[in-house]
Amino acid sequence: MRLLFCGTRGSTPAPGQAHVRYGGHTSCVAIGPEGGRPSLLLDGGTGLARLDEHLAGEPFVGSILLGHLHWDHTHGLPFFQSGSAPGHRVEVLIPEQGDDAEAVLARAFSPPHFPIEPHQLGCGWSFRMLSEGEHEIEGYSVLALEIPHKGGRTFGFRVSDETTSLAYLSDHHPLALGSGPLGIGELHESALALARDVDLLIHDAQYLVEELPDLAPFGHSCGEYALSLAEAAGAREVCLFHHAPRRTDDALDELAGRFAESAIPVRMAFDGLVLSLGKADRAGVTSAGH
């Protein structure tokens, strides 16, 4: 299983010189086989632009799992050029809720707030609700479970193939369920089930632990919680994700330093990071400065 981190910021894109090394695109992770093209995307933020570069004009054929429908996870959809190239097939799956999937997604973009509606993205696009539970999607086993977040139903995902697995909790507010053993959020049943024995836990780290008292009501978590979840669930590696838009490259380097001596390896997500799961010698394909 090969992962391409197309966008790793949260809330809003973060352009500018202070964000060059970690990047400024919002959430999107592409999954595909080693040596093959991605067919499963986790979220559709502005990071989809990086996937366009990776596909180099080739059509995208696959599915997009939206963990929830906030702007930073959907704004890349109408600008996804590979999603309209000849031969494209794009199925968008959203957490089960309310009306039909396309009508719910249209609340995120449609006139007068945006020039087009979802059905105008291309003839190969389709939309459906995703229920909690086990699914087979694009050849992967996907476990979708509801997790706490602010302002709309939110799923975390566990994605597995025959040999490897990852958990993706991009936006997670465990303090909503209680303080937990460390006072930074409950190690609740859904989070533990998603992260159980995975090769890689990709987890929300938008806030510093010292920021939680003031910022937790906005619905996010911190790196210390991600590490505690990994320890409790038996995850083998942690990737901190969904960086605060104003967190500079230097500040993210400082955050990485907090976990340099952790028993479980902790890495920082950045736009363009490539990981090959299931290989003992896996390493990210890095950009300058990493």
**pLDDT for residue 15 is more than 50:** yes
**pLDDT for residue 287 is more than 90:** no
* Residue 54 buriedness (CB in 10 A; 0-12 / 13-18 / 19+): middle
Separation between Cα atoms, residue 170 and residue 122, nearest integer Å: 27
> What is the arithmetic mean of pLDDT over 16-41?
96
Tell me how far CA of residue 82 lies from CA of 57, 61, 74, 131, 167, in angstroms: 6, 9, 16, 27, 26
Maximum separation of any 2 CA atoms in the chain, in Å: 52
Residue 155 and residue 144 in contact, taking contact as beta carbons nearer than 8 Å: yes
pLDDT at 285: 44
Rg of the Cα atoms in the chain: 18
Q: What is the pTM of this model?
A: 0.95
Domains and CATH numbers, the chain: 2-273 (3.60.15.10)
pLDDT digits (tens, 9 = 90+) for 198-246: 999 999 999 999 999 899 888 999 999 999 999 999 999 999 999 999 9
pLDDT at 283: 42
pLDDT at 194: 98
> What is the arithmetic mean of pLDDT over 104-129?
94
pLDDT at 99: 78
Output helix, strand, coil percentages for the chain, rounded to the nearest 5: 25, 25, 50
Tokens, residue 189: 């049943």
Tell which residue, 100, 49, 94, 41, has the closest CA to residue 69. 94
Residue 235 and residue 264 in contact, taking contact as beta carbons nearer than 8 Å: yes
> What is the arithmetic mean of pLDDT over 32-48?
96
> What is the arithmetic mean of pLDDT over 187-199?
98
